[in-house]
């Protein structure tokens, strides 16, 4: 007894069925659904990386802008600090120039004063030398033999000459001022104080030893004032001025 069996399907026939090469009509609805799902999956896989890149790029751009802003702010502060330092340095330079000019002016003044003192010392040395010569001449006159018929009192003449020299040295310390009003008052102390103040005004504060009126008091006249100083140089400088 023969048993009927269904025909066996070859492996090649199975592949043809799957790939759509079989002689029977394929399932189009299944193929379309499969293609649609594949497109959706492909689109989702492409969009997600693009969105992530834009987000990352925007964040990176914000970070770069923030860094540039901070850098610009820092540079602005540094520039302002440098400007302040430069202004301070300029002010210090101006102050130093002013002080240098003052020092130069003081140096010139000191040099002038030193020159005046040098001239005064030279003048005093010459004057002392002249006095010494006069004294030597007087001494030689005293010790010289008396000529016949000459009066005897040579020592008296020597004393007179020395007295005259001394008086001249004392007079060199004094000046005479005329034209200063003399107040009519019986209080001598008040009159002296008035004369002292008037002399100080005329001499522009130059210190003096004493001052007094010459001659007898006369209400109709103004007596001259004699002003005495410690050294002849003060009197000479005042007379020059």
- Please write the tens of the pLDDT for every residue from 154-184: 556 677 788 888 888 888 888 888 888 888 8
Residue 155 pLDDT:
53
In this structure, the number of other CB atoms found within 10 A of the CB of residue 112 comes to 10
What's the CA gap between 220 and 95, in Å, rounded?
61
Confidence of residue 36 (pLDDT cuts 50, 70, 90): low
Helix (H) or strand (E) holding 225: strand 225-228
Q: Where are the alpha helices (DSSP H) in the chain?
A: 11-19, 28-143, 154-171, 188-202, 232-240
Q: Which of 217, 210, 225 is nearest to 178 (CA)?
A: 225
In this structure, the number of other CB atoms found within 10 A of the CB of residue 208 comes to 19
Domain parsing of the chain, residue ranges = 173-241
Residue 147 pLDDT:
54
For residue 216, give both structure tokens.
Answer: 């007898």
For the whole prediction, is pTM greater than 0.75?
A: no
Confidence of residue 47 (pLDDT cuts 50, 70, 90): very low
Confidence of residue 101 (pLDDT cuts 50, 70, 90): very high
Checking if the pLDDT of 30 tops 80, the result is no
pLDDT one-digit tens code per residue, 201-210: 888 777 777 8
The residue-averaged pLDDT of 44-52 equals 55
Q: Which of 145, 166, 163 is nearest to 154 (CA)?
A: 145
Confidence of residue 136 (pLDDT cuts 50, 70, 90): confident
Q: Which of 168, 163, 172, 167 is nearest to 229 (CA)?
A: 172
């Amino acid at each position: 007894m023969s048993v009927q069996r269904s025909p066996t399907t070859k492996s090649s026939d199975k592949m043809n069925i799957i790939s759509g090469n079989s002689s029977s009509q394929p399932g189009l609805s299944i193929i379309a659904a499969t293609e649609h799902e594949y497109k959706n999956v492909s689109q989702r896989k492409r969009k997600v990386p693009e969105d992530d890149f834009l987000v990352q790029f925007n964040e990176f751009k914000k970070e770069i802008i923030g860094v540039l802003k901070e850098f610009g702010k820092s540079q602005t502060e540094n520039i302002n600090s440098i400007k302040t330092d430069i202004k301070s340095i300029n002010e210090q330079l101006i102050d130093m120039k002013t002080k240098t000019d003052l020092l130069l002016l003081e140096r010139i003044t000191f040099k002038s004063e030193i020159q005046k003192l040098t001239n005064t010392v030279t003048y005093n040395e010459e004057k002392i030398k002249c006095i010494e010569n006069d004294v030597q001449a007087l001494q030689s006159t005293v010790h010289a033999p008396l000529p016949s018929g000459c009066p005897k009192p040579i020592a008296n003449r020597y004393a007179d000459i020395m007295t005259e020299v001394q008086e001249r040295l004392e007079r060199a310390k004094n000046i005479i001022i005329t034209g200063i009003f003399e107040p009519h008052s019986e209080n001598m102390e008040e009159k002296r104080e008035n004369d002292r103040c008037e002399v100080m005004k005329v001499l522009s504060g130059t210190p003096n030893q004493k001052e007094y009126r010459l001659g007898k008091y006369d209400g109709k006249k103004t007596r001259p004032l004699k002003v005495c100083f410690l050294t002849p140089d003060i009197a000479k400088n005042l007379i020059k001025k």
